[in-house]
């Protein structure tokens, strides 16, 4: 997995991968700055509207995910990976993982305790 953030805000590699993933899956970039990146996937016959983005607020890095039925906000996700239809975001110690598969219309959040070493 690669870093989402660098010293200047969102890492250029993340911005490029996120925008390519969104475009490839029918998403529209809503907002793109050094510290904010949001896209929306419009509703279709088979899929409700999805909106996902990362931003910095109050000195913390945050993920925001919205649908018609749910709103999720997670803090401190620092690594990412994309596949054809999936966006996978994870914390440093993999205690939290957010996964969105746009083509399948599925998302999942995993939280697990970090073992003390």
Q: Round the average pLDDT of the chain to a whole number and report it.
A: 90
Per-residue model confidence as pLDDT tens digits over 92-112: 888 889 999 998 889 999 988
Q: What's the pTM?
A: 0.88
Q: Which of 110, 107, 64, 62 is nearest to 86 (CA)?
A: 107
φ and ψ at 101, to 5 degrees? -110, 100
**Mean pLDDT of the region 82-99:** 91
Higher pLDDT among residues 113 and 28, named by residue: 28
Question: Are the C-beta atoms of residues 61 and 77 closer than 8 Å to each other?
Answer: yes
Share of the chain above pLDDT 90, in %: 63
Per-residue model confidence as pLDDT tens digits over 36-57: 999 999 988 878 889 999 999 8
Any long-range contacts for 102-105 (C-beta under 8 Å, 24+ apart)? 102/25, 102/26, 102/27, 102/41, 102/47, 102/50, 103/25, 105/46, 105/47, 105/48
pLDDT band, residue 117 (cuts 50/70/90): very low
Share of the chain above pLDDT 70, in %: 97
Distance of CA 53 to the CA centre of its chain: 5
């Amino acid at each position: 997995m690669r870093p989402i953030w660098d010293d200047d805000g969102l890492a250029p590699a993340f911005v490029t991968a996120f925008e390519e993933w969104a475009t490839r899956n029918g998403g529209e970039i809503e907002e793109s700055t050094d510290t904010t990146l949001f896209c929306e996937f419009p509703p279709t016959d088979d899929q409700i509207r999805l909106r996902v983005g990362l931003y910095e607020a109050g000195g913390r890095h945050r993920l925001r995910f919205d649908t018609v039925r749910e709103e999720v906000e997670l803090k401190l996700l620092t690594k990412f990976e994309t596949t054809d239809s999936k966006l996978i975001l994870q914390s440093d110690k993999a205690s939290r993982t957010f996964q969105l598969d746009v083509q399948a219309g599925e998302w999942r959040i995993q939280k697990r305790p970090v073992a003390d070493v």
